[in-house]
Structure 1
Amino acid sequence: MNKKIQMNKQIESYFRWPLIYLAFLFILTLILFYINITAGIISLAFLLVAVAVSFFIGVVSKRHLMSEVINYALTFGTLQKNFLQKFQIPYILLDIDGRIRWFNEEFETMIGEKKILDKNINALIPHLNSTILPVEDDTVFEKEISLEDKIYRVIIRSLEIDDDNTLDAYDRMSDSGIIYATYFFDITNEKELQTKNDDQKTVVGLLYIDNYEEAFQSIEDVRRPLLVALIDRNINKFAKKIDGVVRKFEKDKYMIIFQKKYLRDLHEDKFAILDVIREINIGNELPVTLSMGLGVNDYSYIQSMDFARVAIDLALGRGGDQAVIKESDKFLFYGGKTRGVEKSARVKARIKAYAFRELIEDCDKVIVMGHKVQDLDSLGAAIGIYSCARLLDKPVHIVLNEITSAVRPLYERFIEDDNYGEDLFIDNVEAVNYANENTLLVVVDVNRPSYTECEELFKYVNNVVVFDHHRVGAEHIENTVLSYIEPYASSACEMVTEIIRYISDKVKLRPMEAEALFAGITVDTKNFVIKTGVKTFEAAAYLRRNGADVVRVRKLFKNDMESYKARATAVRDSEIYRDKMAISICPSDIQNPILVTAQAADELLNISGIKASFVLTNVDGIIYISARSFDDINVQLIMEKLGGGGHLSVAGAQLHDNTIDGAIEILKDTIDEYLEEGEKK
């Protein structure tokens, strides 16, 4: 309205100028009459002519000029309306309820319907509704939608209607005084070009045969060339299928390069090449398994190769027989259906032991830490590392914040023994104060930084060593100087015992240290029943020779009466889900509910027909889940979906900001998803 008023004033001002001229001439005439009558008469004649001209302009020309202005405005309005109607971009006006108040021909063509006016936009385009309309002035909503075989970028902008000076047609559009101009830009070709460009980008892959040596040792010499030929043939067929280039650069290692568009096919068939390689059997006792690491980086071939190396390390760290894709900060996992195969060769352990010894000799002090809420395997492995550092005359400290009932008996034995200093066990604050650039940090029984006793400690040290037997997840400790992760190992204590055997020929463990390691192996193998291999018994025999007493070790596992009752309650009140899964709740009002939860999960597997058990407990608002399994149920994959991890038969997870009932529902949904996917161990 203000703009229109301003325009009217400008037009009126043009018609005031003649009056100003007349006033000027009138004054001039008076002055001339005063000076000279003849000059005044001449000036009066000019004044009369000017009055006549001004009258003509003010009366006759003004009406004609205003008619021309009005005619131009009407012509321009019609032109503007026709322009919008014939506008090549689909364009509509919406009211505050999302109803269509006006549309042009392109929108009608885009929708393919005739009756559009007054319809709600959601009825024509399900992706749009009134809830997405901008609520603030000068705000714009933008969204990409798919309509039939087209892709559109939709832009919605609010327009305010001036109620005091609008046409009736616009008044009827919106009672609120606001309408929404909506544009539809066809970006189908643009998206197709983007997709085509993305599909042509390069993916770098590394393929490793996990158990090359073991598989070949299990077959006759004359058949070994045939096994190699079958592996090469299937990998080459796989490469040809995805139009890739594959090259063998070691006897058990391959590199492959292919276009990114074929990743979709690999996703759909869940990397069937893993199953193809595993099914090769020409008399070999051990199945051949393949691990694959794929790196995807849109801008750098070098970065893609680095991603592929990280992915293959992660695949091997998770036990092999799987594919891992790394793209930016994301990881995708496929496979991992089989148990890790124990490698009988001692070369790897010996090399790791020598490298570990050099690291200890080069550092000023050693700090050892395990996972939060420590168990006997974590603390026993830490004590084993202490023995190595003591052998090499290096100061060593173990980070231990919370003394749980699971480790209290072992902890008290070391505290009461005069052979061990008061600073053997330290808390987070002391650990940070002790740490410096030349400190060696050794992490045992965990490979996730957020699960360690003191995550902050990683900021203060440069050299980190990891010994763990859990499968590696997307979150893992990076930039380690030495990483020894073997998912096939029964326990961290077994791995540390093997390191101790090779770190020096003169290692002599004290009986308490041997018992700590023996206890860790015992608790993680459930008394040498689960995940035991040749190395497990060799480690146990070595510890027995160093003074480990089985009776004293058994005393470390004793529970108080309340814990025993809580475990019995969890077993008694368990629910059978999907015919073969046991789900239960462990009371949390006991001394160490997390330990009892794990014990209850173990106990439930002793019931006939139960193939997997899940026991939950609530500790300080965090829901802890312990999962165990037999046969073909892979609880590690189930727990990974909940943000946890572990092994195929022993795993766990933590759920934050949830209730027990809510956690059980989430767990059931996850089990259903796992069973539908048909994942097997």
Structure 2
Amino acid sequence: MEQFEITNQVRKYIQTPIWLSLCLVGAIPVLYVTAGKKAAYVGIVLLAVYLVITAVLYRFQRVRLANELVSFAAQYGQVQHRLIQELVLPYALLDLRGGVLWMNDEFAGIAGKDLNFHKNIAAIFPEITNAKLPGRDPRTEVTVVKGENTYRAAMQKLVMKELIDMENGDQDPEKNSVIAIYLFDETELSELIEDRDNNRIVCGMLCLDNYEEALESVDELRKSLLLALIERKINKYFTDVDGICRKTEKDKYFFIIRKKALEDLEAKKFSILEDVKTVNVGNEISMTISIGIAFGSHYFIQNAEAARGAIELALGRGGDQVVVKEGYNTRYFGGKTESVEKYTRVKARVKAHALKEIISSKNEVFIMGHKIPDVDALGAAVGIYRCSRTIDKPAAIVMDNPPDSIRPMVEGFKSNPDYGEHMFISTREARERINSGTVVVVVDTNKPNYTECEDLLRRTNAIVVLDHHRQGREVIQNAVLSYIEPYASSACEMVAEVVQYFDEALKIRPLEADAMYAGIMVDTSNFLTRTGVRTFEAAAYLRRNGADVTRIRKMFRDNMEDIQAKSRAIAEAEIFADCFAISECKSDGLKSPTVVAAQTANELLSVVGVKASFVLTDYNQMIYISARAIDEINVQLIMERLGGGGHLNIAGAQLPDTTMAEAMALLKKTILQMQEEGDI
């Protein structure tokens, strides 16, 4: 018969009569001494009877008692197993690799499997991958979805001591562990959270970009009709998504919508951008709008301020687009059309007066452009230098090693006794000299990591930014004056306008006029691209102040190596996706490969059927991309996907730690992806 081990508590209970018998045996001598022989004899007889009865009961009842205990334990185990099997809480056991060892009825019902299913848990819940199983952390949780229900899967690693082989000495807990998984139905909770998130308030601002220009292009009788139709479209657009829109100024609106409505508008790429352009009552210029939206903060005031920053960013990027700010994340929609040129110079005059006040209040002026500066950055810096010197403020242009493309012009300034060596200083010297009385003027870029010396921006509270590139996610923060006009052809054009209103005594010198005129020529490809009325007015002003086209042309002639490299890049160009020209410009033997790459990209636009061109060059352990287009493709959007920026038809990007093959593949992948998404 199988021997059953009786627990210690039961053993003590059975052995109690034996210990009591021993106590009675010890009591016999006490009776003999205190009560006499008769009492002792009676005690002995009673003790003998007690021992006989105890022995008989112990002999015949022990097996029966053991059987009763075993029967109870078996019944208790069956009840316990049945309770676990029929437990309302879904429960299962897995091995350490996720294989299903056992599951109760409730778990099997949710999984839609029978109790003999022993495959990996990922076959039931794909969200539970091996990486999400308990490892170093003995407890993990994963949200899983089955059918229309959402569950929180709580998993815990358990060490099964009874599985440890004591005889073989296998004490490794990892080999003797299982994973217990519990499912908690959180469908209702998830729906409540989703409903709460969908109904969050989102605030935004809408601005009519070219309000004045569009009204001027239509006769007086139809102006009110144009505005009425535009306002009707805007109000209907937000009313259709259960939003509220109110006009705050003649060309500005404030609106409130739900977050769910915002997702619907984003899915349709904010169709209002194109709908507004269809309104035509005889106006020669279509009205365009910009929208700034913000949410993510628990405070409405902070969201409203963020929305104001979003609309400013949209306008700074050229308008005709939507900027959505969700906390620290920013998304862009639209912006596929060229910025409308502003014919009035009121803004330039206001910025010029503000710049004069800022420079006048400081002791010294540092001017810097972007890394590997081009002639546009140099010309704009020279213009600001002349502004500072006109009001007797010390000024210096921060530049370490000018590239060969502008070195002749830089040397021309240094060798001129009117300027001298101190007109240009290194970044090291600038760091040593900068103090609280220094104003830093950044030209031809608005990204801090693109500047010649980003450290200078952190060492002063007076920062001025003048740029013609569209703004991106990363902008120079805390600028006391920011003048960014994406419609401008170049930074030199903007500075040429500023100097005309800066001070009546200001007189541009011929060498300075050459530098600024050259900047406009280079950025407009000899006045072929991105030119407007104000571009030619700025050029005329510089010509009147001594700019010599012949002198400039001689100064910026290409050498034979550059021409040969350009020809090879054009000959090896690939036509990708029927309308994109992509090529590599070898940097070997070139003094300014980025300039040659940009020139090559311009040349490739002359090929029939090419809508956009991209030329890549490997220079200083960095892949530089020059992107150009005429009017059908917005290359700025493509370059922003790669971390760069620029204009609709002139843009670029820099890819660090990337090979040429990887950069080519990334560019092509980005183009195809944006085509599929309808962004280009």
- TM exceeding 0.5: yes
Displacement of 1:141: 3.0
Structure 1 residue aligned with 2:170: none
Instruction: Verify the 8 A CA contact 1:201 1:298 in the aligned structure 2.
Output: no
Quote the Cα distance in structure 2 between the aligned partners of 1:454 and 1:43: 110
Quote the Cα distance in structure 2 between the aligned partners of 1:522 and 1:57: 119
Displacement of 1:464: 1.4
Displacement of 1:479: 2.0
Structure 2 residue aligned with 1:331: 330
Alignment partner of 1:609 is 2:628: no
Relative to structure 1, is the Cα distance of residues 412 and 155 closer, same or farther in structure 2, using a 3 angstrom cutoff? same
Relative to structure 1, is the Cα distance of residues 18 and 272 closer, same or farther in structure 2, using a 3 angstrom cutoff? same
Alignment of structure 1 residues 240-319 onto 2, 5 Å: 240-319=239-318
Structure 2 residue aligned with 1:134: 134
How far does the alpha carbon of each residue in 1:357-386 deviate from its partner, in whole angstroms, 9 at most, with x for none?
111111122222211111111121112111
Structure 2 residue aligned with 1:79: 79
Instruction: Verify the 8 A CA contact 1:624 1:654 in the aligned structure 2.
Output: yes
Displacement of 1:568: 1.6
Q: Secondary structure at the match of 2:384?
A: helix
Q: Which amino acid letter does the alignment assign opposite residue 656 of structure 1?
A: P
Relative to structure 1, is the Cα distance of residues 580 and 37 closer, same or farther in structure 2, using a 3 angstrom cutoff? same
How far does the alpha carbon of each residue in 1:622-674 deviate from its partner, in whole angstroms, 9 at most, with x for none?
21111111231111111111111111111111223322112111111111123
How far does the alpha carbon of each residue in 1:240-277 deviate from its partner, in whole angstroms, 9 at most, with x for none?
11111111111101111111110121012110111111
Structure 1 residue aligned with 2:192: 193
Quote the Cα distance in structure 2 between the aligned partners of 1:59 and 1:513: 122
Alignment of structure 1 residues 358-377 onto 2, 5 Å: 358-377=357-376
Displacement of 1:303: 1.1
Displacement of 1:103: 1.5
Q: Secondary structure at the match of 1:423?
A: helix
How far does the alpha carbon of each residue in 1:15-70 deviate from its partner, in whole angstroms, 9 at most, with x for none?
56665565566556557767886586677678657756875786566656554544
- In structure 1, the gaps of 5 or more residues are 167-173
Quote the Cα distance in structure 1 between the aligned partners of 2:224 and 2:256: 26
Q: Secondary structure at the match of 1:595?
A: helix
Moved more, 242-251 or 313-322: 242-251
Q: Secondary structure at the match of 2:257?
A: strand
Q: Which amino acid letter does the alignment assign opposite residue 407 of structure 2?
A: R
How far does the alpha carbon of each residue in 1:501-544 deviate from its partner, in whole angstroms, 9 at most, with x for none?
11111111222222111111111111111101111111111112
Relative to structure 1, is the Cα distance of residues 456 and 69 closer, same or farther in structure 2, using a 3 angstrom cutoff? farther
Quote the Cα distance in structure 2 between the aligned partners of 1:465 and 1:82: 77
Q: Which amino acid letter does the alignment assign opposite residue 496 of structure 2?
A: T
Instruction: Verify the 8 A CA contact 1:369 1:382 in the aligned structure 2.
Output: yes
Quote the Cα distance in structure 2 between the aligned partners of 1:352 and 1:198: 43
Q: Secondary structure at the match of 2:421?
A: coil
Structure 1 residue aligned with 2:386: 387
Quote the Cα distance in structure 1 between the aligned partners of 2:617 and 2:252: 45
Q: Which amino acid letter does the alignment assign opposite residue 644 of structure 1?
A: G
Moved more, 657-666 or 47-56: 47-56
Quote the Cα distance in structure 2 between the aligned partners of 1:17 and 1:594: 100
Displacement of 1:153: 1.8
Alignment of structure 1 residues 20-419 onto 2, 5 Å: 26=25, 38=37, 55=55, 66-67=66-67, 69-114=69-114, 116-130=116-130, 132-136=132-136, 139-162=138-161, 164=163, 176-419=175-418
Quote the Cα distance in structure 1 between the aligned partners of 2:496 and 2:423: 20
Q: Secondary structure at the match of 1:591?
A: coil
Displacement of 1:286: 0.8
Fraction of identical pairs, as percent: 45
Displacement of 1:278: 1.2
Instruction: Verify the 8 A CA contact 1:588 1:619 in the aligned structure 2.
Output: yes
Alignment of structure 1 residues 636-647 onto 2, 5 Å: 636-647=636-647
Quote the Cα distance in structure 2 between the aligned partners of 1:24 and 1:555: 127
Relative to structure 1, is the Cα distance of residues 460 and 18 closer, same or farther in structure 2, using a 3 angstrom cutoff? farther
Moved more, 389-398 or 92-101: 92-101
Instruction: Verify the 8 A CA contact 2:413 2:420 in the aligned structure 1.
Output: no
Moved more, 305-314 or 68-77: 68-77
Instruction: Verify the 8 A CA contact 1:297 1:303 in the aligned structure 2.
Output: no
Q: Which amino acid letter does the alignment assign opposite residue 369 of structure 1?
A: M
- In structure 2, the gaps of 5 or more residues are 166-172
Quote the Cα distance in structure 1 between the aligned partners of 2:465 and 2:391: 19
RMSD: 2.7
Q: Secondary structure at the match of 1:92?
A: strand
Q: Which amino acid letter does the alignment assign opposite residue 638 of structure 2?
A: I
**TM-score, normalization: structure 1?**
0.92
Q: Which amino acid letter does the alignment assign opposite residue 650 of structure 2?
A: V
Structure 1 residue aligned with 2:535: 536
Quote the Cα distance in structure 2 between the aligned partners of 1:391 and 1:231: 47
Displacement of 1:566: 1.6
How far does the alpha carbon of each residue in 1:173-202 deviate from its partner, in whole angstroms, 9 at most, with x for none?
x99533222222221111110111111111
What is the aligned residue count?
Answer: 668
Quote the Cα distance in structure 2 between the aligned partners of 1:263 and 1:86: 46
Q: Secondary structure at the match of 1:282?
A: coil
Alignment of structure 1 residues 449-528 onto 2, 5 Å: 449-528=448-527
Relative to structure 1, is the Cα distance of residues 153 and 564 closer, same or farther in structure 2, using a 3 angstrom cutoff? same
Relative to structure 1, is the Cα distance of residues 64 and 340 closer, same or farther in structure 2, using a 3 angstrom cutoff? same
Instruction: Verify the 8 A CA contact 1:159 1:181 in the aligned structure 2.
Output: yes
Q: Secondary structure at the match of 1:608?
A: coil
Structure 2 residue aligned with 1:169: none
Displacement of 1:158: 2.3
Displacement of 1:330: 0.7
Q: Secondary structure at the match of 1:319?
A: coil
Displacement of 1:204: 0.7
Quote the Cα distance in structure 2 between the aligned partners of 1:616 and 1:59: 99
Quote the Cα distance in structure 2 between the aligned partners of 1:454 and 1:519: 24
Quote the Cα distance in structure 2 between the aligned partners of 1:457 and 1:13: 86
Quote the Cα distance in structure 2 between the aligned partners of 1:180 and 1:230: 65
